[in-house]
Amino acid sequence: MIREKSLRLLTVFVTLSSLLLFFILYLTSVWNYTLFYSTLFGAIIVILNFMIGFLFIKFSLSRSNRIFQIMLWGGMLFRLIFILFLVLILLKFLELNTIGFIFSILFFYVFYLIIEILYLNFKKIEHFER
């Protein structure tokens, strides 16, 4: 249980410190407004993706293996389509810095994917220890 709490703490810490860093870079004029809101939109999209995925995982962990697999893979497909749709809409209708937007999505996506894998691993270990 301590591992899960430290994983949650790490997630919140990295998220808030990244957003704070974005804001500081904008306030010190290192980043212009377009780069600031481009990276912010990228981070928000991936945070929403992570929350949806985490809900799918939480809901499916107490179910049978078949339901868990369906929820896991179906949730991944749903989230992939969700991100693709949001990225295309935002790139089409907003004046975003494309490089900042895409790299923000890449950074946060990899980070949250690692968090999801570690969470599933901790739950697997916890399940077999019982």
Report long-range pairs for 79-87 (Cβ below 8 Å, ≥24 apart): 79/49, 79/52, 79/53, 82/48, 82/49, 82/52, 83/45, 83/46, 83/49, 83/109, 86/45, 87/45
pLDDT band at 79 (very low <50, low <70, confident <90, very high): very high
Contact 78, 112 (CB under 8 A): no
The whole-number pLDDT of residue 24 equals: 95
pLDDT band at 1 (very low <50, low <70, confident <90, very high): low
Give the tens place of pLDDT for each residue, 95-116. 999 999 999 999 999 999 999 9
The whole-number pLDDT of residue 2 equals: 58
Higher pLDDT, 3 or 92: 92
The whole-number pLDDT of residue 128 equals: 61
Sequence-distant (6+) residues with CB within 8 A of 79 are 49, 52, 53
Mean pLDDT of 75-87: 93
Whether 91 has a pLDDT exceeding 60, the answer reads: yes
User: What is the CB neighbour count within 10 angstroms for residue 28?
Assistant: 8
Higher pLDDT, 130 or 25: 25
Give the tens place of pLDDT for each residue, 9-63. 999 999 999 999 999 999 999 999 999 999 999 999 999 999 999 898 888 888 8
